[in-house]
Amino acid sequence: MNQFIKNLHIPVPVRAFLVFLTFLHSVNLYIDRAAISVARDSIVTDLSLTDIQFGWVMAMFTLGYALFQSPSGYIADKKGPRFVLTAIIIFWSVCTKLTGAAWNYTSLLVIRFIFGVGEAGAFPALSKVVYNWFPLKERGIVQGINFSGSRIGAAFTLPLVALLISYTGWRISFVIIGALGILYAIFWYIIFRDTPEETKWVSEEEKEYIIRTRQQPTVDKLPPFSISKMAFSGNLWLAMGQYICSNFTFYFTLTWMLPYISDRFQVDLVQAGFYSMFPLLAGAAGNWFSGWLVDYIFKRTHQLKLSRRIPAMIGFFLAAFGMVMVTQVESPLVAVIFMSVAIFGADMTLSPSWSFCIDIAKERAGVVSGTMNMAGNLGAFVTIITYPYLYAATSSHVPFFIICSVLSVSAILMWMFMDPEKLIFDND
């Protein structure tokens, strides 16, 4: 185990344990989020919904999630990730339980929108954890591990929730999942502290190492916040644009992939859930590989630009290639293989994207990463709505996959102009 930690370049056990906690946070986050996709058939039947109505149910979550990213990130900067993440986890876990109590289409729309609002600050707050606790040279792999948790959580949710629904029904399943989230929130609040300076159980040696090697020692006073500086930051606009492209591809796997596989290849729910695991597990692998690559390039070259651009551009190339190839095959297994290539690539873009936000924002990492994530999830909102409407209009899955590929190519061009050394705020 110690050798494994050393290979990840996280040599001190306390930081390794903290990575494990943030990894579990991401797992929990996406178990709750992906479960509704698995429950689609049961919900549609019980509440008499159409596919387009169900698309709006999933999209309302994403809309609430997107709109409250920046405010939640701002609160995380001010209040700290310990309080914010605890409150967020409890809130979304209650909303998970309420999902099981929905009685009609309107109630489900409202619950899922509020659910999205509740989850909005999760990853921006995690950015503050990374900024406060980890050296610059470890940032890539830590972000990669964190996001891999979301993919692994979603991957195992698909078949496991399918089995849970088959035994307990979809309503009880959401109650059980929500209860697990509340237990984790209590555990997080007891264990975590906002900075190593506030933590008694971290050694003096590790504390000194963190303070000396992180991007900038945490100070009591945040740098001045300016909406105008964010609004006129070309860096931030490019980060938002490329993240829209990344999420447009990824969110298909989280929302419509299981129904797509089930409907197109005529397989049952549990089998479709099993197939749907693999692209998400590939996404987890993409996060780990990209996180390692970000840190490796930085250590070898000491150039932030190369360490952020190269992994992201490779990732978007693979995403474009994989989505085009999905349109050319007829076997569910081969389709899943190419979709796995695409999601491996799309998820390679996450570690450099979030590292980039911390680079250009420093102490304001919460609000800046939240703004990027807001844009990305507006892209996800469009994805969720576009897919059923586009299929209804064309009776073909192909146009959607081609749009994903074109967006990925455009994101490669955006990364050519992104500069992680150009700060948004004055940090003096």
pLDDT tens figures, 206-254: 888 878 877 654 445 556 667 888 888 889 999 999 999 998 888 888 7
Q: What is the pLDDT of residue 426?
A: 63
- CA 396-280-386 angle, to 5 degrees, is 30
Percentage, residues of the chain above pLDDT 90: 20
Residue 427: inside a domain, yes or no? no
Structural domain count of the chain:
1
Residue 84: inside a domain, yes or no? yes
C-alpha 51/C-alpha 168 separation (Å) is: 24
Q: Residue 396, exposed/middle/buried by CB under 10 A (0-12, 13-18, 19+)?
A: exposed
C-alpha 404/C-alpha 216 separation (Å) is: 38
Residue 291: inside a domain, yes or no? yes
Span 409-428, pLDDT tens digits: 999 999 999 998 888 876 44
**Alpha helix (H) residue ranges in 39-138:** 40-47, 51-67, 69-79, 81-99, 105-119, 122-133
Q: What is the pLDDT of residue 13?
A: 66
| Cα torsion through 195, 200, 205, 209, rounded to 10 | 0
Taking a C-beta distance cutoff of 8 angstroms, is the pair 249, 401 a contact?
Answer: no
The conformational region for residue 80 under phi > 0 = left, psi -120 to 50 = alpha, else beta, is left
Overall pTM > 0.85: no
- Residue 318's H or E segment, with its range, is helix 304-326
Q: What is the pLDDT of residue 358?
A: 84
Residue 272: inside a domain, yes or no? yes
Residue 176: inside a domain, yes or no? yes
Per the structure, the complete domain to which residue 45 belongs is given by 2-415
245 or 26: which carries more pLDDT confidence?
245
Residue 422: inside a domain, yes or no? no
Q: Residue 235, exposed/middle/buried by CB under 10 A (0-12, 13-18, 19+)?
A: buried
What is the CATH classification number for the domain harbouring 381?
1.20.1250.20
Residue 146: inside a domain, yes or no? yes
Name the token pair of 249. Answer: 């591809």
Q: What is the mean pLDDT of residues 122-148?
A: 80
Residue 424: inside a domain, yes or no? no
Percentage, residues of the chain above pLDDT 70: 92
Q: What is the mean pLDDT of residues 95-104?
A: 88
